[in-house]
């Protein structure tokens, strides 16, 4: 059964501007107020003393759904979102190539009266785009030792292999499988998720990974070429697609206004 909703008509706009989730039995505008009946009771709407989005004792949220579709024939990375508003909203994002991204309301920072945040993605990709995140892989070098444990693996690197300071917990660790002996061409295979990095005084680095991550395979030897990709949530890769459909949600019970939504998008060069 379809969900009931209320559709409003504006005589000044000569159109139907809004959908509302509440469903009254009768509705009447009078003396600059809106009145409805529900279950035989009379309710006054847009009254300043009651919580916003509370209808007939049920608390709801404000939602807005729209789409960024500039330069529709080009693949783009949607990296940020900016709100011309007096409050931060949480958001979800869907594109044709990358299934979802998100922003929590707490991620926003207010600058010059606008709200800014980076779009996080969850790397949950359809099968035909499974290689997209791997474009951000960074090589480390060949390992000097690999110890396979129960649900974990420990990989040791000695100089000149240098991990540096960019690797952190939550990053995904890959090893390269050479396509043919001596070709120097490697296909990446997921080894696991980084859980710790220990650096010794002699320059040796010891990486421990969780090998229970979905899609990970057993590391075949002790001398493998390793790579990593930063955690997509922490590093904010944005979402990739020709367009980006976004849904914004505000849970405030006070009056709030949203004037415009903007995104910083870059053309993707595969």
**Confidence at residue 130, expressed as pLDDT on a 0 to 100 scale:** 44
> Which residue positions in the chain have pLDDT lower than 70?
1-3, 98-99, 122-136, 231-237, 270
> What letter does residue 48 receive in the DSSP assignment?
T
Give the C-alpha separation, 42 to 35, whole Å.
7
Chain position carrying tokens 């960074």: 138
**Confidence at residue 250, expressed as pLDDT on a 0 to 100 scale:** 93
Q: Report yes or no: 99 and 130 within 8 Å, Cβ to Cβ.
A: no
Q: How does pLDDT run across 129-188, given as a tens digit for each residue?
A: 444 455 567 888 899 999 999 999 999 999 887 777 778 888 889 998 777 777 777 788
Give the C-alpha separation, 179 to 69, whole Å.
39
Give alpha helix (H) positions in the chain.
232-235
Give the C-alpha separation, 43 to 41, whole Å.
7
Give the C-alpha separation, 63 to 55, whole Å.
15
Give the C-alpha separation, 160 to 167, whole Å.
17
CA distances from 7 to 15, 19, 22, 162, 256 (A): 11, 5, 10, 62, 21
**Confidence at residue 270, expressed as pLDDT on a 0 to 100 scale:** 66
**Confidence at residue 157, expressed as pLDDT on a 0 to 100 scale:** 93
**Confidence at residue 232, expressed as pLDDT on a 0 to 100 scale:** 59
Chain position carrying tokens 């693949």: 75
**Confidence at residue 133, expressed as pLDDT on a 0 to 100 scale:** 52
**Confidence at residue 128, expressed as pLDDT on a 0 to 100 scale:** 40
Q: How does pLDDT run across 118-131, given as a tens digit for each residue?
A: 888 765 444 444 44
Structure tokens at 24: 């009254």
Helix/strand number for the chain, H first, E second: 1, 26
**Confidence at residue 12, expressed as pLDDT on a 0 to 100 scale:** 83
Q: Which residues pair with 63 in a beta bridge?
A: 249
* Domain residue extents for the chain: 6-60, 63-119+250-267, 132-235
Q: Does CATH number 2.40.30 belong to domain 132-235? A: yes
- pTM of the shown model: 0.60
Burial class (CB within 10 angstroms; exposed 0-12, middle 13-18, buried 19+) of 243: middle
């Amino acid at each position: 059964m379809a969900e009931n909703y209320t559709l409003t008509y504006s005589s000044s706009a000569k159109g139907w501007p809004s959908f509302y989730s509440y469903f009254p039995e009768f509705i009447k505008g009078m003396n600059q107020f809106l009145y409805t009946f529900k279950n035989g009771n009379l309710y006054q709407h847009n009254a300043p003393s009651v919580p916003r989005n509370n209808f007939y004792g049920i608390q709801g949220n404000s939602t807005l759904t729209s789409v960024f579709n500039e330069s529709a024939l080009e693949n783009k990375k949607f990296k940020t979102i900016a709100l011309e508003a007096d409050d931060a909203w949480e958001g979800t994002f869907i594109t044709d190539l990358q299934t979802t991204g998100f922003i929590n309301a707490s991620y926003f920072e207010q600058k010059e009266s606008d709200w800014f945040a980076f779009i996080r993605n969850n790397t949950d990709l359809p099968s035909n785009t499974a290689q997209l995140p791997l474009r951000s892989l960074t090589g480390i070098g060949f390992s000097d030792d690999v110890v396979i444990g129960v649900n974990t693996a420990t990989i040791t690197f000695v100089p000149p292999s240098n991990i540096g300071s960019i690797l952190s917990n939550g990053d995904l660790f890959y090893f390269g499988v050479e396509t043919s002996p001596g070709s120097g061409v490697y296909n990446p295979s997921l080894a696991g998720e980084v859980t710790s990095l220990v650096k010794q005084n002699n320059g040796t680095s010891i990486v421990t990974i969780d090998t229970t991550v979905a899609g990970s395979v057993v590391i075949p030897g002790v001398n493998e070429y390793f790579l990593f990709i930063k955690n997509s949530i922490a590093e904010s890769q944005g979402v990739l697609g020709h367009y980006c459909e976004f849904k914004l949600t505000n849970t405030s019970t006070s009056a709030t206004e949203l004037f415009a939504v903007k995104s910083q998008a870059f053309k993707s060069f595969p």
